[in-house]
Amino acid sequence: SAPPVTAATLTARDMPAGRKRPAPSPFAGFSPFARSLLFSPASGFSRLPLTNAAKPHQDTAGMPPPPPKRAKQAEPSSDMEEEEEERPSSDADEELSGSDGDGDSDSSPECSSSDDDDASQEMETVQADFAFFDPKPADFHGVRLLLKTYLDSKPWDLTGFVDLVLEQTTVGTVVKMAEDEDEDGEANGGDKSDDDGDLFGLITVLNLGRYGENRCIKDLKEYLLAVCGDKDTKEKLKSLLEDKASTVGLLVCRRFVNFPYEMVPKMYDSLFDEVSWATEDEPTQELQDSFRFKQYLLLVRILERKTPPKQKAKNNKDEDEPVIYPKLEDEIFRELSSWSFTFPIRAEQSAQQELKNYKEMGLVMCVKADVIPKFRKKLEALVSE
Amino acid sequence: DPVLCYVVSVGIQFENNCEVGVFSKLTNAYCLVAIGGSENFYSTFESELADVIPVVKTSIGGTRIIGRLCVGNKNGLLLPHTTTDQELQHLRNCIPDQVVVQRIDERLSALGNCISCNDHVALTHPDLDKATEELIADVLGVEVFRQTIAGNILVGSYCAFSNRGGLVHPHTSIEDLDELSTLLQVPLVAGTVNRGSEVIAAGMTVNDWTAFCGSDTTATELSVIESVFKLREGQPTAIVDDMRKSLIDSYV
């Protein structure tokens, strides 16, 4: 399989493939919703210390300081750790994330959560080197964290699913900080171990026929059939999961909310390249064939606007979109899909202010393999905007 | 009889979280369990403990991460300033009267991450307020030591100890282990829970006679836990035997 690809280091000048473009707002590609998330208290990275004290794996490019309307920040406390779920923190302002508290007492809070003032903000650009790696057993916790909300809250064989993803090293990529891949592994005894992987993203595709006997895939199939409301769609879904399963790839792409959008096309590039190589490189004919997918099945989350009760909508900004796609490419997939359906999510919804008019929904899509080239073009175009 | 409890096939999970110690708090006198999650989570605790100590469903500050926000033992329970009046009252109503329930004003409000204790000794975050330290000593009736564990200041996260033994961060040095063991006056071992997670207190919860571990915990990790917390003493109950069998089935 391919050697690790170093993704773009995210400075304004230095864009992928030597392309130059004017220093953009790094988040122009995001919907207004996504950009507002970056300013929200619950956003994990909103208070990254942009000082010398910053640890390398906490930093990503040009994080704007939080808006002034938030409560005055507490003293930066030396014990703040990363805002990953269950990552311990001493200040419990947010459920299941670190505190929104501090670290930005130096920066000028000259921004707002609307989309108009980005260019005038003072933004420090922080160097971040992300790299792509093959999944390996040590990534267990990081991958598990990303997949924890893949299905709804009802328990399923999540651990088995994670193991499956990690075992398939020929096709599948995890995104981590470039320094993390240390051949000496355990050498950094006292250092912060990357036990939780500092894994920012994951992409893979699993053949539903090949792994059909695995408990996690059985759980998943059962779940999808259970949440599908429409009778006709359910027939199509059933056919995909049963007789056609050996030609269907479950495409799984999970990443943190503010994952740099420039790297998303690269994630998909690496995936589809690996799939194509696998059809030649896998040791047996059977395995090679298992990567000749005719269809891809995707399960993602979207936000649908709740029907406003008699025009009471207070925040009439352009967050009035009927559907918000936290992952930009999902909108393209949906356009190109052969069929799709949505279903409500039962797990506790986010309490964010920006999202109170929206309800989280699951979206299942079936995308024919032959539209993938079109998808890649559209994604590239979207990201270059 | 000491019993080691771990549900393997279904797993002790709280909405696909193996972090048992995040959504619960277990002491020798009471057990707190977070609201939400499946009934299975709550009933696992209830079936093991209800005859002996009260199992109380609660939230703290409206959140479910109760294990990380509070700290307690048989003498008392300390709650962060984010605890609501209703939650405080509910806890006072449900917890035995001899347990002092107190809400404290400490900046480092994730008390469960900052403080670890049994019925006699507490280890705390080095930056904890002096006033808080005194409250801990008074309310919990313990001797208090400011400590780090394997260089980590969140001592409440990286160790779990009862009056019989303790499990600490895997990278704790031998010297530190000795020192801590002397302070705590219990045997300690460095290890992991939930398949290599070093956040011990998030992955499990323990008192003098029971331990609950997340479903990802491996057989090796379980045997270490059984051993250091002395949960294997006395006749193993039928439950433990059945679980051992199912463990072997799952892991072979």
**Under DSSP, is residue A169 helix (H, G, I), strand (E, B) or coil?**
coil
B229 vs A10: which has the higher pLDDT? B229
Q: Which residues pair with B137 in a beta bridge?
A: none
Q: Does A92 touch chain B (CB under 8 A)?
A: yes
Q: To the nearest whole angstrom, how far is the Cα of B99 from the nearest Cα of chain A?
A: 24
Candidates B19, B3, B17; CA nearest to B240 is B3
Q: To the nearest whole angstrom, how far is the Cα of B36 from the nearest Cα of chain A?
A: 9
**A81: Cβ–Cβ under 8 A, 6 or more apart, which residues?**
A87, A88, A89, A98, B154
| Residue-level pLDDT at A385 | 82
| Residue-level pLDDT at A366 | 97
Considering only alpha carbons, which residue of chain A is nearest residue B37? A153
DSSP for A67-98 reads PTTSPPPPPPPTT----STT---S--SSTTS-
Q: How confident is the model at residue B133 (pLDDT cuts 50, 70, 90)?
A: very high
| CB contact at 8 A, B32 and B56 | yes
Query: What crossing angle do the helices spanning A372-384 and A264-281 adopt, rounded to 10°?
Result: 150
Within 13 Å, how many C-alpha atoms sit on residue B118's CB side?
A: 21
Q: Which residues pair with B59 in a beta bridge?
A: none
Task: Give me A279's structure tokens.
Answer: 């059809």
Decide if A159 and B215 are in contact by the 8 Å CB cutoff.
Answer: yes
Cα–Cα distance, A85 to A95 (Å, whole number): 9
Cβ contacts of B156 on chain A, cutoff 8 Å: 88
The pLDDT of residue A259 is above 60: yes
Q: Which of A128-132, A135-139, A353-357, B62-66 has the lowest mean pLDDT?
A: A353-357
The pLDDT of residue A14 is above 80: no
Cβ contacts of B150 on chain A, cutoff 8 Å: 190
Task: Give me A336's structure tokens.
Answer: 């190109």
Q: Does A322 touch chain B (CB under 8 A)?
A: no
| Residue-level pLDDT at A86 | 45
| Separation in Å, CA A190 to CA B150, B188, B198 | 7, 19, 13
The pLDDT of residue A98 is above 50: no
| Residue-level pLDDT at A317 | 53
What's the CATH number of domain A128-179+196-308+316-384, 3.40.930.10, 3.30.930.10, 3.40.630.30, 3.90.1150.10? Answer: 3.40.630.30
| Residue-level pLDDT at A280 | 95
Are β-strands B210-213 and B3-5 bridged in parallel, bridged antiparallel, or unpaired?
Answer: parallel
| Among A75, A90, A95, beta carbon nearest to B125 | A90
| Residue-level pLDDT at A92 | 52
Q: To the nearest whole angstrom, how far is the Cα of A333 from the nearest Cα of chain B?
A: 28
- The secondary structure of chain B, three-state, reads CCEEECCCCCCCCECCECCCCCCEEECCCCEEEECCCCHHHHHHHHHHHCCCCCEEEECECCECCHHHHCEECCCEEEECCCCCHHHHHHHHHHCCCCCEEEECCCCCCCHHHHEEECCCEEEECCCCCHHHHHHHHHHHCCEEEECCECCECCHHHHEEECCCCEEECCCCCHHHHHHHHHHHCCCEEECCECCCECCHHHHEEECCCEEEECCCCCHHHHHHHHHHCCCCCCCCCHHHHHHHHHHHHHHC
Q: Does B151 touch chain A (CB under 8 A)?
A: yes
| Residue-level pLDDT at A154 | 83
| Among A78, A95, A154, beta carbon nearest to B63 | A95
**Under DSSP, is residue A295 helix (H, G, I), strand (E, B) or coil?**
strand
Please, what is the average pLDDT of chain B?
87
A11 vs A131: which has the higher pLDDT? A131
Q: Does A158 touch chain B (CB under 8 A)?
A: yes
| Residue-level pLDDT at A63 | 43
Environment class of B242 (CB within 10 Å of its CB; exposed 0-12, middle 13-18, buried 19+):
exposed
pTM of the model: 0.70
The pLDDT of residue A34 is above 80: no
| B138-172 residue pLDDT tens | 999 999 999 999 999 999 999 999 999 999 999 99
Cβ contacts of B196 on chain A, cutoff 8 Å: 140-141, 195
Cα–Cα distance, B238 to B236 (Å, whole number): 7
Task: Give me B10's structure tokens.
Answer: 């279904």
In the sheet with B204-206, reading across from the earlier edge strand, the strands are B3-5, B210-213, B204-206
Kind and range of the H or E run holding A340: strand A339-344
Q: Does B80 touch chain A (CB under 8 A)?
A: yes
Residues 182-211 of B with CB under 8 A from A: 195-199, 202
Decide if A155 and B150 are in contact by the 8 Å CB cutoff.
Answer: no
Q: To the nearest whole angstrom, how far is the Cα of A141 from the nearest Cα of chain B?
A: 8
Q: Count how many pairs of residues, chain A against chain B, have C-beta atoms within 8 Å.
A: 100
| Residue-level pLDDT at A38 | 46
Residues 95-124 of B with CB under 8 A from A: 107-110, 113-114
| A318-338 residue pLDDT tens | 557 889 999 999 999 999 999
| Residue-level pLDDT at A155 | 84
| Residue-level pLDDT at A90 | 64
Q: Does B241 touch chain A (CB under 8 A)?
A: no
Find the mean pLDDT for residues B30-44.
87
Mutate to test the interface with A, among B13, B15, B16, B123 (most CBs of A within 10 A): B16
| B51-71 residue pLDDT tens | 899 999 999 999 999 999 999
Mutate to test the interface with A, among B8, B13, B15 (most CBs of A within 10 A): B15
Cα–Cα distance, A177 to A112 (Å, whole number): 29
Measured at the CA of B35, the angle between CA B32 and CA B41, to 5 degrees, comes to: 75
| Residue-level pLDDT at A134 | 95
| Residue-level pLDDT at A245 | 96
| CB contact at 8 A, A107 and A148 | no
Decide if A88 and B113 are in contact by the 8 Å CB cutoff.
Answer: yes
Mutate to test the interface with B, among A75, A84, A86 (most CBs of B within 10 A): A86
B189 vs A317: which has the higher pLDDT? B189
The pLDDT of residue A7 is above 60: no
Cβ contacts of B65 on chain A, cutoff 8 Å: 92, 95-96
**A211: Cβ–Cβ under 8 A, 6 or more apart, which residues?**
A164, A217
Residue A3 is classified by DSSP as P
In order of start, what are the domains of chain B with their CATH numbers?
7-249 (3.75.10.10)
Decide if B109 and A92 are in contact by the 8 Å CB cutoff.
Answer: yes
Task: Give me A162's structure tokens.
Answer: 């994670």
| Residue-level pLDDT at A116 | 43
Q: To the nearest whole angstrom, how far is the Cα of B207 from the nearest Cα of chain A?
A: 21
Q: Does B84 touch chain A (CB under 8 A)?
A: no
What separation, in Å, do the N-terminal and C-terminal C-alpha atoms of chain B show? Answer: 28
Share of chain A above pLDDT 90, in %: 49
Task: Give me A210's structure tokens.
Answer: 């090949």
